[in-house]
Structure 1
Amino acid sequence: MSTQPADDSAASPAESYARFRRNQVSPALTEFADGYGFGFDDYQREACEHVEAGSGVLVAAPTGAGKTIVGEFAVFLALREGRKCFYTTPIKALSNQKYADLVRRHGSGNVGLLTGDSSINSEAPVVVMTTEVLRNMIYANSSTLTDLGYVVMDEVHYLADRFRGAVWEEVIIGLADSVQVVALSATVSNAEEFGDWLAAVRGEMRVVVSERRPVPLFQHVLVGRKLFDLFAGEAPTAQEIASQRRADVNPQLLRVSRDESRVTRDDARRPRGRSGKGKRAVSYGSGRYGGATHARNLDRGQGGAGNDRGGDRGGDRRAHHGTSRADMVGVLERARLLPAIVFIFSRAGCDAAVRQLLGTSVELTDLDEQAQLTAIAERHMSGLSAADRKALGYEAFFTGFVRGIAAHHAGLLPAFKECVEEGFVRGLVKVVFATETLALGINMPARSVVLEKLVKYNGETHADITPGEYTQLTGRAGRRGIDVEGHAVVLWQPGLDPRAVAGLASRRTYPLHSSFAPTYNMAVNLIGAVGRDRARTLLEQSFAQYQSDRSVVGIARQIEKNTDEIAARFAAAACDQGDFVSYARTRDEISRVEAEAARDRKADRRDEALASLQGLTRGALIRVPAGRSRGWAVVLDPGVEGQRAAPQPQVLTEDSSVRRLALTDFPTPALTAGRVKVPKHFHPKDKAARRNLAAALRARLATVTLDPDADRPSEMNAAARTRVADLRAELQRHPCHTCPDRETHFRQAAVALRLEAENRAAEQRMSSRTTTIAKQFDKITTVLEGFGYLAPDESGQVRVSPSGRMLARIYAELDLVTAECLRAGVFDDLTVPQLAAVLSSLIYEARRTDGGRFQPRMPDRVTEEAMTAVRRVHREVSLAERDARLDRGPEPDIGFARAAFGWAAGRPLAQVLDDNDLTAGDFVRWVRQVIDFAGQIADAAGPSPVRETAHQTVRAMRRGVVAFEPDDPTPGDDLSV
């Protein structure tokens, strides 16, 4: 970190002159910098100078590099000039943290806080808020925006978030031109592109990029109990990475990898012992810690799993590089690499890691630290009753916490997370097992970061982490002002390739991609504010549209390249007997017509099959045309209920098997040939009942006349048959048809024809991408007009109707479905707990890993009937979206309904948690979202019984652990810069 003399008397003449020149150019910056006990880095000073000069600025720098200095300078300027500054963050926890920082610096009278459920001094000159709050202010044309001079957008790279990212673009586009935007981002590889877009939308915007970490980062691999450097020499610098310089991997690690591969191969050939397992092979890891220029600074652990020479009775030894978590912590402690964040890409894995360490003798705190941690925990939990503490598992949390061990993930109770964050920042908590969400936003730097694995579940599959994710995670290592270096440690796993790890650690490929897409709420708000035409123009200014337009350049280049290749291929296909290009086109046309006819036949048959399944009833005797259940079967359950895209009938086959069928089993429609009586109390698991019903099925089949052509696909339609026949006749008459080299010529022409098809598709993409967002907006307005949320006025201009103004207050993903439910009276007669349950279904989204003792269901008959109405509304909206060619919104999810009902009904926390298989953190987070949503419903409903019920729901649910906000902690040294 750079330093500068605290006063001119200690400065050299050159330093004094430089200070004088800076004071002449940037007097406000000089005054601001004097309030800090350290000198600013060059990039910080450059960015601040741009802000003082009146320009907006995008600052992209690594985690912990101190880019918030630039945001704090905007706050300083606003106070100095008598204007307002809004400091926006993506999450409430970061807003709270920044609010505390700014209050310490500027006083509570000058700083306010606005989040979803907190409002403190909202008319202060400086207000910290979540980005959604500012978006809502802009749409409402709030008077709070008066005299706004600066908006700081911290963690602006969140605009890539597929769920919430659009909010950042809405704010950037919607702010008045007079507002200076200071955007702070993690390092992204397309900062210049993002900056160019900001300049196009906001006017003058300067881009300041810093790749330099203020604390150098060293990379390691932990093999057994031995810590190896990843690189043979110095790790590559940011400049070397940018110039594609690749550092050499530590040869000792490569040797470990080769030896492991050899042992694996040898073991595959080794005769098995009586246990059925191969005998143990040689153990590695006893070599010297390799290669680091800073190795002298580390205290290596001796011995351990990596040095174990023991074996079984056979005397052979197997390579073993695994590291227990207790061993890992021991290695880090001896090497003086604590405190550490250990990233585990699983909530359950984080909690299990803490339990594992609590089952060992690991204790990382002394008596004084334990006393401080106890005080932190008591301060954060003082407002909770003994019953709530017990329900929340406080004793288990506290046991690990005072030993310096904790977990941190989205499923953790917010009060627990705040304990962990404060304890960690103060250096009292030494090891935190965390999911990757900790890498986003919250200021929790560590001396070292450990990655247990380099694979994580991305919502669909287990995939390797990207270089950008690796950099984001390891960026937490190295506390500015405390550590002289940070350390990233990867745990050895079977099959680990050190070169692949080196690739992750030495690449900077993480571009920022827009996730912006117009919504119904966005459309009515924009049209209400600026009119339809202006709204369409504004949306065309989004970063998503900007990136689409720029991508057209690459498409055009590919078309040009293909065009040259097409000419060359057609030239190579030249035939001395005639025009081979025309011959090839005729032949290609035959293939195209046949393929289209086949697709049409398949689509028609699929529609017929779907219709046949939708008409099935219990007891129907059907013929299954394909799949392992092919043959005759009797329907036990039509499978048309619930939220399936297609029916999934449950049937009993001729061999007494009970199976659930899918649409893939019906390439042709289900043939129905009568009925078989299914006993009223038939149970699929009763073998005797299955045998009896199968016998009745076979008896019924004896009376059925089989159609041998029932399962045969239909033939090509008459028009297609005629067209193909004409083309084949034309082909036979063509002079090139008799050429002896015809197939050789056609191979060349076929490539050219394929490239022509690629060019046609590319040209369509070019045409569509130039107005992607605007076309999406047009589709959305079509749906809104169909439902009456937009309507023409006397002059023919599209305006927002009263129903549209209601929709403008609803910010949920299922905004239009919710508005339609309000209009249809679905919520009218519900009690407070019932309304909470039904509203939860419109915002809740179950995690893919959710699943426990309880199947999702509604809590009572009234809410079940209400959900039937909600699903009917959802289907109506979905049909309109299908007709407009819009993606359908998510299905309502009743997974949180019982919990919302129970909490709104006043049930104790322990009972609600036990009845619903929920973690405390998930429960609190979703209840708070239901509270916020109920507030939106109250605002949207207008004077009505629903408004009062919604307000009562908010009051009923805002209690106990949900409403609990611990006293503002007094953090230790501010490490944010």
Structure 2
Amino acid sequence: MELEAFAAQLNFSLDPFQAQACRALEAGHGVLVCAPTGAGKTVVGEFAVHLALAASRKCFYTTPIKALSNQKYADLVDRYGKASVGLLTGDSSINSDAPVVVMTTEVLRNMLYANSPTLRGLSHVVMDEVHFLADRFRGAVWEEVILHLSEDVRLVSLSATVSNAEEFGSWMETVRGDTAVIVDEVRPIPLWQHIMVGRRMFDLFDTKAQARDPAARLVVDRSLVRHLKQHEELARAESWEPRGRGGRGGRTNYRPPSRPDVIARLDDDGLLPAITFIFSRAGCDAAVAQCLRSRLRLTTEEQAAEIAEIVERHTGELPKSDLAVLGYWEWREGVERGIAGHHAGMLPAFRHAVEELFVKGLVRAVFATETLALGINMPARTVVLERLVKYNGETHAELTPGEYTQLTGRAGRRGIDVEGHAVVLWQPGIEATEVAGLASTRTFPLRSSFRPSYNMSINLIDQMGAKESRSLLERSFAQYQADRSVVGLVRTIERNEAALVPLAEKLGGVDGEYFEYARLRERVRARERELERQGRTDRRKDAVASLVALRRGDVIAIPVGKRAGMAVVLEPDTDPTDPRPLILTVDKWAGRVSAADFPSPAKALGTMRLPKFVDHHTARSRRDLAAALRSTQIAVPGRRGKRKSPASSDPELATLQRSMRSHPCHTAADRDQLDRVGERYNKLARETETLRQKVAATTNSLARTFDRIVHLLGERGYIEAAELGGPDVGPHGITEDGQRLSRIYSESDLLVAECLRHGVWKGLGPAELAAVVSTMVYESRQDGETGDRGPTGAVRHALGETMGLWSALRADEVRHKLPLTREPDFGFATAVYKWASAEPLVDALVAAGNRGQALSAGDFVRWCRQVIDLLDQVYSTAPDREVRAAASKAVTTIRRGVVAVDAA
């Protein structure tokens, strides 16, 4: 057996779940393996490599990010030698015809669409971190690969622990055939949970109770609860302490321990190396700087010398003139002291050096953003969480149990540590029960993010025609999940419909007079509900407008509720959607109010002078202001008359009510009894219709989006218009422009194709073309970053033409009810123009900055490489020879200096 031969090469024994998965794979099944971080899932992927080589076939090993691809490539080269292993990423192509090729998932997707000859002889595909298919930006790629791979290819899917593994496995079996689902929820290294309060470390759970009975319910440690209660009482007392002579008052004086103190405490307890997750790049950099200002040093002189050698290997090719602007010397001092940051804004050469140093145990304290939790092999003994809230791209939100589990999963190094540790730093507002809930919940459902794009749709049509493409979309995990959600709705609809039949019979049947009367009463009530909603909307609109109009010092009356009475505006709020001005009432309460507090519009009854600075947190300040408010002698108006209801003057409602009153059944003797039956019938009928609408919106939702894309592409000439009226659009229905679109893999794929087709980028020099192309990929990290309109007249003209095409495309997308192509972002245009024009790095970084802050070197390199990737596509697809030449030259001019170093 091949499993025995493979296991004999390992220096450890296979865990039960690993052996089970490998046996299923050797038996010819596909496998889905879900296990915690560090459990050793990749052993199953490596066995797939072994099986392919033993059969003289090929195995592709896919990963979500280039760093993981590089890491896996190095591992497999160590085992099988350079001749047997290749690497394909956006930046690297090494030995692509090897029997084992490591690649990013996008590379395999592109191969499948292009029917690449490299696919011949492929027997196994490993999809590492397959739960990435939930990623809303890139997740569709995973499903495309799963759906497109030949049926005879065995798929090995490796995932973090998800709570719906059976559902995902069931779908895999539907689209890929026999698939074994192996779930292992046991961490190979036990994880202990702690809360650090000041410099004191507490166990989160009662470890003694756990030791006595491992199956017992987890209980929060009582000593921790007592300690936190004392802290909260102290904080509460201080927050209400009046400000006297020499007293601060109003705020708790609790100070969390400094980062150097936290690391020193962990070091004293033997809990290093540690990763501290800070959900901000600037926060990571500030943490390193704070440690460097202290006396903290975590390395010996011998270790510092070894670190210097590794640093030189990673950074030796960096231009010496750029080292200062890259922050090289500060970064090097940190790593030589065993301290470093890790985030996407770092220069790749710095980040990769940190990864190697951490794995070797030379860097012992890393401050990282959550991107480190995505699969890079950097386990630690301890993981520290400074906060339980992070910015998710739209708002600051609390960590989910899944996110907490993924982050703390880094703690505990297999083969090194006997246990791992997760430490939450306490601060006022954090409840021990809240942390316990995060730590004890394992709910992490996998949700598909699959949606058809223009590029995907044109490739599907080119390969299999519209009919088969629609069928493939209906087999996606996204539609599978949607349809499963519909099953319960359909059952409810069927039960409701069965219950409606006897109710209709009690009303004399659907053709009877009572039934007609009941439907008429329902129309009256429906109109009343509609008018009531309209009235609420109008009242809220008036209330919002009145709150937006308030100014500092305005005296108002709060009409209802426990805060009713006179109040003064301390801080206005002009948010047009949900204004929440800060007010102080005569009862000394300070807080924010909203439109919900004003059934009638707020009105300034007068004004009062306020001090320049108002500290509404202190009791004394609130008391003095409330006294001043009372002394204004502004009168609170009496209760106003009730606002007139829209129903009182609605002609449609009046007509319906007259029809109802004149109906013969309105005066029937048994009307009250039948009315109750009619109300039950109407309510159930309303609920059933709502459910039907949900089912209609869910069923075949992806196919409907695909049909709309097909029509838009047909209108614009990417598909033969004659084909649109027929039953199918076959491969020959794709125009030359459509073939070009099929080779453009970008979020703005159709806009790029339109720009090439209309020739709006013709006549640009290499640096100018790079500037314009950057607007298709760059996304500003902060609102308000738009950049200037271009460094040259030619760029400005091309961008103007590009924006015109974008506006027209967006209008078509609105008409076809399709997701909107994002607006081109000018924020990187001048920076990449300067860089492609051989100007110094510092000038390019400053040009790409915002609000006086230069762009980070890591972000600059990342955006440059994305521009290079799209320029490569422009080079291979542009119909104009000059544009292709400019794209090729631009790639060469951008790929220099820091952009060319450590391209991974």
Calculate the TM-score normalised by the size of structure 1. Answer: 0.76
The letter for the 2-side match of 1:149 is S
Cα deviation 1:179-212 (Å, max 9, x = unaligned): 1000000000111111111111111110011001
Contact 1:321-1:492 within 8 A present in 2 as well = no
Alignment partner of 1:103 is 2:74: no
Taking the aligned partners of 2:902 and 2:250, their CA distance within structure 1 comes to 58
> Partner of 2:632 in structure 1?
none
Residues 960 and 535 of structure 1, relative CA distance in 2, 3 Å threshold: same
- The superposition leaves residues 109-150 of structure 1 with CA deviations (integer Å, 9 ceiling, x where unpaired) of 000000001000000000000000000000000000000010
Residue deviations 1:396-446, cap 9 Å, x none? 101111111100011111001001100000011011000000000100000
In the alignment, the residues of structure 2 paired with residue 813 and residue 517 of structure 1 have an alpha-carbon distance, to the nearest angstrom, of 12
* 1:731 matched residue in structure 2: 660
Of 339, 361, 368, which aligns to 2:302? 368
Alignment partner, residue 507 of structure 1? 441
2:738 aligned partner: 804
Q: Does the 8 Å CA contact 2:86/2:98 hold for their aligned counterparts?
A: yes
Which residue of structure 1 aligns with residue 219 of structure 2? 248
Please list, as runs of the form range in 1=range in 2, the aligned pairs for 1:107-126 lying within 5 A after superposition.
107-126=81-100
| Residue 518 of structure 1, aligned match among 419, 431, 452 | 452
Shift in Å, 1:37: 0.7
Which one-letter code corresponds to 1:770 in the other structure?
T
Deviation at 1:233, TM superposition (A): 2.2
CA distance in 2, matches of 1:570, 1:921: 69
- Cα offset, 1:742, TM superposition: 10
Q: Which residue of 1 aligns with 2:813?
A: 881
Choose from 687, 694, 698 the match for 1:765: 694
Question: Does the alignment pair 1:949 with 2:886?
Answer: yes
Question: CA 1:224–1:755 in structure 2 vs 1: closer, same or farther (change >3 Å)?
Answer: farther
Conservation of the 8 A alpha-carbon contact between 1:566 and 1:753: no
Matches of residues 545-694 of structure 1 in structure 2 within 5 Å? 545-559=479-493, 585-590=519-524, 592-593=526-527
| Structure 2 residue identity aligned to 1:349 | G
Structure 2 residue 857 is matched with structure 1 residue 920: yes
1:895 matches 2:832: no
SS in structure 2 opposite 1:810? coil
Which of 419, 431, 451 in structure 2 is aligned with 1:485? 419
Task: Give, in whole Å, the separation in 1 of the partners of 2:875 and 2:195.
Answer: 55
Contact kept in structure 2, 1:236 and 1:506, CA below 8 Å: no
Match of 1:648 in 2: none
Distance 2:755 2:657 in 1: 58
Corresponding residue for 1:262?
233
Which has the higher mean CA deviation after the structures are superposed, 482-491 or 256-265? 256-265
1:412 match = 346
In the TM superposition, what is the alpha-carbon distance from 1:732 to its structure 2 partner? 2.3
Q: CA deviation at 1:914?
A: 2.4
Instruction: Write the mapping of 1:118-197 to structure 2, written as runs, cut at 5 A.
Output: 118-197=92-171
> Is the CA contact 1:232–1:249 (under 8 Å) kept in the aligned structure 2?
yes
The residue identity in structure 2 corresponding to 1:926 is W
Using the alignment, how far apart are the partners of 2:499 and 2:302 within structure 1? 75
In the other structure, the counterpart of 1:431 is 365
Q: Residue in 2 aligned with 1:706? A: none
Please tell me the residue identity of whatever aligns with 1:947: R
- Is 1:938–1:951's contact at 8 Å kept on the other side of the alignment? yes
- Separation of aligned partners in 1, 2:437 and 2:668: 54
1:560 Cα offset (Å):
6.0
Number of the residue aligned with 2:40? 66
Range with greater deviation from structure 2 (765-774 or 49-58): 765-774
Equivalent AA in structure 2 for residue 199 of structure 1: E
Q: In the aligned structure 2, how far is the partner of 1:450 from the partner of 1:573?
A: 67
CA 959–750 in structure 1, closer or farther in 2 if over 3 Å, else same: farther
What is the CA–CA distance in structure 1 between the aligned matches of 2:384 and 2:57, rounded to whole Å? 44
Tell me if the contact between 2:774 and 2:867 (Cα under 8 Å) persists in the aligned partners. yes
| One-letter amino acid of the counterpart of residue 260, structure 1 | H
Structure 1 residues 814, 236: CA separation in 2 closer, same or farther (over 3 Å shift)? Answer: farther
CA distance in 2, matches of 1:515, 1:178: 26
1:863 has 2:785 as partner? no
Aligned equivalents of 1:234, 1:162: Cα separation in 2:
43
3-state SS of the aligned residue for 1:522? helix
- Aligned-partner residue type, residue 418 of structure 1: H
* Counterparts of 1:569 and 1:414, CA distance in 2: 70
Deviation of 1:563 (Å): 6.8
Report deviation, 1:915: 2.7
Q: Tell me which residue corresponds to 1:608.
A: none
Report the Cα offset of residue 321 of structure 1.
6.5
Q: Distance in 2 between matches of 1:850 and 1:421?
A: 34
2:871 corresponds, among 931, 934, 937, to: 934
Quick one: which amino acid aligns to residue 773 of structure 1?
A: L
Q: Which residue number in structure 1 is paired with residue 610 of structure 2?
A: none
CA distance in 2 between counterparts of 1:377 and 1:158 reads 32
Structure 1 runs not aligned, ≥5 long: 1-26, 281-317, 604-624, 631-658, 666-714, 969-977
Taking structure 1 as reference, are residues 663 and 478 closer, same or farther at Cα in structure 2, changes over 3 Å only?
closer
Aligned twin of 1:302: none
Distance 1:562 1:257, change over 3 A: farther
Identify the range of structure 1 (750-759 vs 114-123) with the bigger mean alpha-carbon deviation. 750-759
CA contact (8 A) 1:567 1:752 kept: no
- Kept after mapping to 1: 8 A contact 2:348/2:902: no
Residue 581 of structure 1: CA displacement? Answer: 7.2
Q: Match of 2:777, as an amino acid?
A: I
Q: Is the 8 A contact 2:548 2:574 kept in 1?
A: no
Deviation at 1:600, TM superposition (A): 11
Query: Hey, what's the Cα distance between the residues in 2 that align with 1:594 and 1:270?
Result: 53
- Answer whether contact 2:235 2:254 (CA < 8 A) is retained: no
Distance of 1:626 and 1:38 partners within structure 2: 70
Deviations 1:437-457 (A, max 9, x none): 000010000000000111111
- Cα distance in 1 for partners of 2:388, 2:646 equals 52
In 2: Cα distance, 1:925 partner to 1:433 partner: 20
Instruction: Tell me by how many angstroms 1:743 deviates.
Output: 11
SS of the residue corresponding to residue 387 of structure 2 reads coil
Q: SS in structure 1 opposite 2:188?
A: coil
1:769 CA drift (Å): 2.1
What amino acid is aligned across from residue 334 of structure 2 in structure 1?
G
Contact 1:218–1:235 (Cα < 8 Å) also in 2 = no
Q: Deviation per CA, 1:469-496, whole angstroms, max 9, x where unpaired?
A: 0000000000000001000111111021
Change (3 A) 1:771 1:325: same
Q: Is the 8 A contact 2:787 2:829 kept in 1?
A: no
What's the TM-score, normalizing by structure 2? 0.82
Q: Is 1:88 aligned to 2:22, yes or no?
A: no
Query: 2-side partners of 1:417 and 1:235: how far apart?
Result: 42
Question: Structure 1 residue 205 and structure 2 residue 142: aligned?
Answer: no
Shift of residue 741, structure 1, vs aligned partner:
13
Q: State the distance in 1 between where 2:301 and 2:331 align.
A: 18
Match of residue 191 from structure 2: 217
Aligned-residue Cα RMSD (Å) equals 3.5
Partners in 2 of 1:64 and 1:948 — Cα distance? Answer: 47
**Corresponding residue SS for 1:392:** coil
How much has 1:275 moved relative to structure 2?
4.7
**What amino acid sits opposite 2:894 in the alignment?**
M
